[in-house]
Copies of this chain bind each other. A is one copy, B any other.
Amino acid sequence: MIVVKVGGGEGIDPTGVLDDVADLHAGGERLVLVHGGSGETNRVATALGHPPRFVTSPSGRTSRYTDRTTLEIFTMVYRGRLNATHVEHLQAAGANAVGLCGADGRLLTGRRKASVRSVENGKTKRLHGDHTGTVDHVNDALLRTLLDGGYLPVVTPPALADDGVLVNVDGDRAAAAIATALGADALLLLTGVPGLLRDPDDPTTLVRDVDADDPGDATAAAGGRMRAKLDGALRAARGGVAQVVIGDARVARPVRTARAGSGTVVREGGAP
């Protein structure tokens, strides 16, 4: 059982990942695909006159401020554009994909963080009405039912919060929670870079191995969106997923390439 996450940021073409997933599915592999969609969401939100707003927390972390209108656009794009067209692509490639967001069958549930701290012009403000949250529980029974039926689940944010509303959740952490809940053999987080880089602009600075018990300076190297990836990878490795790789979505056969260990390998005890 393999959980594959493909990012949705600018410049990431998911086609290679989708085709590789379809091939592996055809070969009998049990797979769950998780995807993002931030780039397309930014484009549609801007076209609809509600451009994205990013906030920076006091600890320096940047996130999307998700008011209800943003949440509805986010859901429309993740669920209705990317999830549906990924399912269409996989179906055309012969894989019987089923798209799900976190609300479907309470697949991904957690807590809502209704307010967020934002540093603006050196001052910290608290913004209310945010629709972001965490993934605390996975309905792995629903995924197993679909996998047993020969289907390929394709999962996307949003999740469902305990107050019954949709919430924006991080796709990498969602994938990690799914892999842990399913007891997956592998979690592959595929993105637009070769893995965790010490210098984000220099692909030769790839961190080959991270010890999940003692990540040390890997945590410091992981800025921006890589921080959520590393965090998800650490949680999954500590949660018992035997192989966790942050790898490159852009290479040929990206799923098999990462499965072969190319990228940043995160495991308990570090390099073997």
Q: Interface of A with B (CB < 8 Å)? A: 44, 47-49, 72, 75-81, 83-85, 87-88, 91-92, 96-101, 103-106, 141-142, 145-146, 149, 151, 158, 160, 164-166
Contacts and interface: CB of A to CB of B under 8 A. Distances in A.
Contacts of A91: 103, 106, 160, 164
Contact of A75 (B80, B101, B160): B80
Contacts of A141: 149
A163 to B, nearest CB: 8
A241 to B, nearest CB: 26
Copies of this chain assembled into the complex: 2
A113 B99 CA distance: 25
Give the secondary structure class of A's interface.
helix
Specify which of A75, A76, A160 lies most central, judged by the most chain B CB atoms within 10 Å of its CB. A76
Contact of A80 (B79, B96, B100): B79
Specify which of A44, A97, A103, A160 lies most central, judged by the most chain B CB atoms within 10 Å of its CB. A103
Nearest to A106: B96
Specify which of A77, A85, A165 lies most central, judged by the most chain B CB atoms within 10 Å of its CB. A85
Contact of A92 (B76, B104, B158, B164): B164
B99 A101 contact: yes
B87 A81 contact: no
A155 to B, nearest CB: 12
Contacts of A103: 84, 87-88, 91, 97, 99
Contacts of A44: 48, 76
